[in-house]
């Protein structure tokens, strides 16, 4: 009971200090800027140059021969199933299936749905040229089906930024805010007063963490509601934001207690930030995915939020992802407890 009272008192203090430090203002400001960007600046469609893959299902296999002669064997796939499977994996691909014969040339252009109309028209023209070169006797007929993803709709580019923006805040601000609070307490010496109070390491860590989680949730709501709207998916996103923010806060605590000022810490902070942002590359270019990226906590967070907001039919991913982040948080919490106790609360400096 008294421990809870102590925690509440420290939490109130941390929230007031965070408010007076302008942390809430930063969070609101960033959220407003990102909402404006997402809603009014970033287009819902963006021109990208997708990779094309070809399947030759013609009677004479003339198309495959043609591509091999041109040295383009690497874009040939053996079957339509292989093509569709690859397209499911990589959103930056387009598949062209040549069918029929010279007398009755046809082509199917499978696309993801987010490609601009102009790009598809240009591709149709290019496919006609290929058929001509292969000796087609008439104009090919086209169909351009959108790749079907269960439960998936067309993903507007601007909204696809939301998971990225949420993760950026949780990672960057969660890590930095707690460090700023630690350095402030070191500079003021107020940490010494806490050290001779009846409260200890856990109260300190949890107070800082909850303060940061509140900031992260404020940001998440401010970004989510004006862009996605009050969707039921919010209920799934908020627990992820909570756990991830906690994880980043205790990580920030673990690192910052080894430094005496923000200027000493900033290089390490940048390094950590770059590390945690590496999965962004995979987000935009799925082909650019190294296995090690999946070990970085921001990876499941980013793709998890995307899957929640824009489902592609994956099931059973949410709970394991939440458990994984929670398990990582527990490990990070133990490290933080050791670091805070040893470097912040134990020895006079």
Partner 1 sequence: MIEVSNLIFTYPRAHQPAVRGISFRIEKGQIFGFLGPSGAGKSTVQNLMIGLLPMQKGSILYDGKTLSDMGKSFFNRVGVSFEHPNLYEKLTGVENLRYYGGLFDKPVIPPEQLLDMVGLGDAKNKRAGAYSKGMKQRLVFARAIMNRPDILFLDEPTSGLDPGTAQRIKEIILSERDRGATIFLTTHNMYAADELCDQVAFIDEGRLVAQDSPRNLKLKYGKKAIKVEYTSNGQIKSEILFVDRDEDRYRLSQLIDSGTVETLHSQEATLEQIFIKLTGRGLS
Least distance from C-beta 27 to partner 1, angstroms? 17
Contact segment (CB under 8 A) with partner 1 among 70-78, 191-199, 216-224, 265-273 equals 191-199
SS3 annotation, 103-129: CCEEEEEEECCCCCHHHHHHHHHHHHH
Least distance from C-beta 177 to partner 1, angstroms? 14
Q: Is 200 in the site for partner 1 (CB under 8 A)?
A: yes
Contact segment (CB under 8 A) with partner 1 among 122-130, 144-152, 183-191, 328-336 equals 183-191
Contact segment (CB under 8 A) with partner 1 among 9-17, 30-38, 58-66, 249-257 equals 9-17
Contact segment (CB under 8 A) with partner 1 among 1-9, 157-165, 225-233, 284-292 equals 1-9
One residue of 150, 189, 230, 232 binding partner 1 per CB under 8 A: 189
What are the two backbone dihedrals, phi and then psi, of residue 150, each rounded to the nearest 5 degrees?
-55, 135
Q: Is 195 in the site for partner 1 (CB under 8 A)?
A: yes
3-state secondary structure of 43: coil
- Residue in the structure block whose two tokens are 């790749």: 147
One residue of 44, 85, 132, 190 binding partner 1 per CB under 8 A: 190
* Per-position DSSP letters for 256-281, written without gaps between them: HTT-SSHHHHHHHHHHHHHHHHTHHH
CB atoms within 10 A of CB 127: 22
Q: Is 341 in the site for partner 1 (CB under 8 A)?
A: no
* Per-position DSSP letters for 294-339, written without gaps between them: GGSTHHHHHHHHHHHHS--S--S-HHHHHHHHHHHHHHHHHHHHHH
Least distance from C-beta 157 to partner 1, angstroms? 41
DSSP letter at 137 equals: S
Least distance from C-beta 283 to partner 1, angstroms? 37
Smaller CB distance to partner 1: residue 189 or 316?
A: 189
Smaller CB distance to partner 1: residue 16 or 323?
A: 16
Residues 6+ apart with CB under 8 A from 13: 207
Output Rg (C-alpha) for the chain, integer angstroms: 26
Q: Provide the mask over 19-48, with x wherever binding to partner 1 is found by CB under 8 A and - wherever it is not.
A: -xx---------------------------
With contact defined as beta carbons under 8 Å apart, do 133 and 89 qualify? no
One residue of 61, 101, 132, 192 binding partner 1 per CB under 8 A: 192
Least distance from C-beta 17 to partner 1, angstroms? 5
Smaller CB distance to partner 1: residue 155 or 344?
A: 344
Q: Is 9 in the site for partner 1 (CB under 8 A)?
A: yes
Give dist(CA 107, CA 104) in Å, integer. Answer: 10
Q: Is 4 in the site for partner 1 (CB under 8 A)?
A: no
Output helix, strand, coil percentages for the chain, rounded to the nearest 5. 65, 10, 25
Give contact residues for partner 1 (rule: CB under 8 A): 2, 5-6, 8-10, 12-13, 16-17, 20-21, 185, 188-200, 346-348
């Amino acid at each position: 009971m008294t421990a809870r009272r102590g925690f509440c008192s420290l939490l109130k203090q941390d929230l007031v200090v965070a408010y007076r430090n302008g942390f809430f203002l930063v969070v609101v400001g960033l959220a407003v800027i990102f909402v404006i960007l997402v809603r009014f600046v970033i287009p819902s469609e963006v021109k990208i140059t997708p990779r094309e893959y070809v399947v030759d299902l013609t009677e004479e296999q003339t198309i495959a021969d043609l591509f091999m002669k041109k040295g383009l064997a690497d874009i040939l796939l053996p079957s339509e199933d292989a093509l569709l499977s690859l397209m499911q994996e990589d959103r930056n691909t387009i598949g062209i299936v040549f069918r029929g014969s010279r007398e009755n040339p046809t082509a199917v252009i499978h696309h993801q749905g987010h490609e601009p109309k102009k790009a598809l028209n240009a591709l149709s023209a290019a496919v006609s040229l290929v058929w001509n070169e292969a000796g087609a006797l008439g104009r090919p007929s086209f169909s351009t089906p959108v790749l079907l993803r269960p439960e998936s709709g067309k993903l507007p580019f601007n909204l696809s930024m939301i998971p990225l923006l949420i993760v950026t805040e949780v990672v960057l601000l969660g890590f930095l805010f707690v460090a700023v609070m630690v350095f402030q307490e070191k500079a003021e010496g107020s940490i010494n007063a806490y050290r001779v109070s009846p409260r200890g390491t856990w109260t300190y860590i949890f107070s800082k963490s909850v303060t940061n989680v509140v900031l992260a949730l404020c940001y998440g709501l401010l970004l989510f509601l004006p862009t996605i709207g009050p969707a039921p998916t919010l209920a799934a996103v908020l627990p992820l934001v909570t756990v991830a923010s906690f994880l980043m806060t205790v990580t920030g605590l673990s690192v910052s207690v080894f430094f005496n000022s923000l200027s000493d810490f900033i290089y390490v902070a940048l390094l950590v930030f770059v590390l945690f942002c590496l999965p962004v590359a995979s987000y935009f270019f799925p082909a650019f995915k190294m296995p090690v990226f999946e070990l970085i906590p921001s990876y499941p967070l980013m793709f998890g939020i995307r899957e929640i907001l824009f489902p592609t039919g994956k099931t059973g991913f949410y709970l394991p992802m939440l458990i994984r982040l929670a398990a990582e948080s527990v490990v990070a919490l133990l490290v933080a407890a050791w670091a805070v106790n040893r470097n912040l609360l134990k020895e006079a400096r």
